[in-house]
Amino acid sequence: MALGQKAPAQTEMASVTTMLKPSFWMSDFKKQRVWRKAHALTLNVHRVASTIRGAQYSALRSQMIRAAMSISANIVEGREQKTEREFARFLGYSLGSTSELEHHLLVARDLRTISDADFSSTLGQLIDVRKMLHGLITKLSAPKSLSLKGPVPSHLAKSAERSAGSRQQAAA
């Protein structure tokens, strides 16, 4: 066998492994945009929390960091699950942690332990991550028969536009 060639058994095993992987599977969680954004949020929360001074705020500092770390950690753990449903469940845990972190940020702002600038920028990051999580959960939870693989036929697109227009008129 030439150098660099795989043995037939290795090639067969690789193709079987590829067939068994769910369609959403990605070997490297670091390639996922939502994880990268959540990781950046974690680093920023750690920076902001480390500016909070005073022993009486040690629990707040700790909870802020733990909630932020939980967001990205659950994305990583969910990525390794066998089904899209299980992955979506872990994304739901991440979503819950965004709400917990938002609460801690509000408390820190209201106690004036973090600056308004740090609060605003961190909250902006959190909202971006939350939107991405919602979108991914929606995508994973959508029935397969409803997901469109190609462009929407023009007669369906026009029908949807008319329906949206009539809803807007009715609301006005």
10-residue stretch averages of pLDDT, the chain, 172 residues long: 53 42 58 94 97 96 98 93 90 97 98 97 98 94 63 53 51 49
Residue 132 has a CB neighbour count (10 Å cut-off) of 19
pLDDT score for 7: 55
pLDDT score for 88: 93
Domains of the chain plus CATH, in order, are 25-143 (1.20.1440.60)
pLDDT score for 154: 56
In total, the chain counts a number of residues equal to: 172
pLDDT score for 17: 39
CA distance 125 to 57: 23
pTM across the whole model: 0.68
CA distance 34 to 32: 6
Token pair, residue 98, equals: 């965004």
pLDDT score for 64: 98
Counting Cβ atoms within 10 Å, is residue 35 exposed (0-12), middle (13-18) or buried (19+)? Answer: buried
pLDDT score for 28: 74
End-to-end CA distance of the chain: 74
Burial 106-125 (b: 16+ CB within 10 A, else e): eebbeeebbeeebbeebeeb
Close Cβ partners of 26 (under 8 Å, ≥ 6 residues apart): 32, 79
pLDDT score for 167: 47
pLDDT score for 27: 54
In DSSP notation, 78-135 reads: HHTSSSHHHHHHHHHHHHHHHHHHHHHHHHHHHTT-S-HHHHHHHHHHHHHHHHHHHH
